[in-house]
């Protein structure tokens, strides 16, 4: 009996001792953990601040910008262009007018008629106004607008012309409306004007390109003018006199973007087409 009691008390002592050791160990571990937490708190706070400053906030800003652009892109209607009253103007600005000039008798009309025949949807002819009489085969409103001198002078007073000049006793001019009509049709405007008109167009903001059509020689030019059979001797002499000045101007530096000598119609036409479509 006493032995049993002794054993029981001994077991209780051992259990008590082990329990005390466990509690002391837990308290020590808890105290160490608290000290460790306090020692790590400052580096953790420092790391958090640096991370927010260099990574988190820039990332959020970039993400916000990306989402806003993506939302704007996805919500914007596609394949649609806003309607505007300036559509015609912007279209015509991308298609620079082409000014073709040269002495009478160099074959400008022949080259241009062929150009319009081959590319009817691309080019539009700026119909000029003139006070001269129609020639055989010319149609009013298609080849020229034929006006009387008083009508022409009245149009000048109304500032209707981009350029106008008097040549061999007749007045010629290109109106603003004539160029606008071509641009409204979405075509490249072709201007067939003389040297005085070329100088006037150069002073505008049309951004035109200039093509000078020249004859093989002055002798050949005279032969062509006489071979027409449409002008009297006085008119031919006036045209030859005017041609002298036009040839000198066409050969001067900066007068044109390209000079085409029309000694062969097919070769001259190819050069004209290549130049126009080079841009």
In whole angstroms, give the CA distance from residue 129 to residue 256: 23
pLDDT value at position 258?
A: 97
Whether 97 and 67 map to the same domain: the answer is no
Q: How many domains does the chain have?
A: 2
- Whole domain around residue 140: which residue ranges? 88-276
Task: Give the pLDDT confidence score for residue 78 in this predicted structure.
Answer: 38
Q: Which of 80, 104, 131 is the last residue of a domain?
A: 80
Q: Are residues 188 and 153 in the same domain?
A: yes
Same domain, 121 and 72: no
pLDDT tens digits for range 221-274: 999 999 888 888 888 998 899 899 999 999 999 999 999 999 999 999 999 999
Round to whole Å and give the CA distance between 28 and 25: 5
Distance CA 11, CA 89 (A): 108
What average pLDDT does the chain have? 77
Does 212 lie in the same domain as 137?
yes
Give 130-175 pLDDT, tens digit per residue.
999 998 889 898 889 999 999 999 999 998 998 888 888 899 988 9
Report the b/e string of 173-206 with b at 16+ CB within 10 A.
bbbeebbebbbeeebbbbbbbbbbbbebbeeeeb
Q: Each residue of 60-88: pLDDT tens digit?
A: 666 666 555 554 443 443 333 333 333 33
């Amino acid at each position: 009996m006493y032995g049993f009691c002794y054993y029981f008390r001994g077991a209780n002592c051992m259990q008590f001792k082990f329990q005390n050791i466990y509690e002391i160990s837990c308290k020590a571990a808890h105290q160490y953990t608290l000290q460790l937490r306090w020692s790590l708190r400052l580096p953790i706070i420092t790391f958090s601040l640096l991370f927010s400053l260099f990574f988190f906030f820039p990332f959020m800003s970039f993400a916000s910008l990306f989402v806003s652009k993506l939302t704007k892109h996805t919500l914007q209607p596609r394949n649609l262009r806003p309607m505007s009253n300036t559509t015609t103007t912007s279209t015509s600005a991308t298609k620079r007018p082409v000014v073709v000039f040269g002495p009478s008798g160099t074959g400008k009309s022949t080259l241009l008629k062929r150009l319009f025949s081959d590319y009817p949807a691309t080019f539009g002819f700026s119909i000029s106004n003139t006070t001269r009489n129609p020639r055989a085969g010319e149609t009013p409103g298609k080849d020229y607008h034929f006006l009387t001198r008083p009508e022409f002078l009245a149009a000048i007073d109304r500032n209707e012309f981009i350029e106008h000049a008097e040549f061999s006793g007749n007045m010629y001019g290109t109106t603003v409306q004539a160029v606008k009509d071509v641009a409204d049709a979405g075509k490249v405007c072709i201007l067939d004007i003389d040297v005085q008109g070329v100088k006037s167009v150069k002073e505008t903001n049309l951004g035109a390109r200039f093509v000078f059509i020249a004859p093989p020689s002055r002798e050949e030019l005279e032969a062509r003018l006489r071979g027409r059979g449409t002008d009297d001797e006085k008119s031919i002499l006036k045209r030859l006199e005017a041609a002298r000045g036009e040839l000198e101007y066409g050969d001067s530096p900066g007068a044109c973007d390209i000079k085409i000598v029309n000694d062969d119609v097919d070769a001259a036409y190819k050069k004209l087409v290549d130049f126009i479509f080079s841009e």
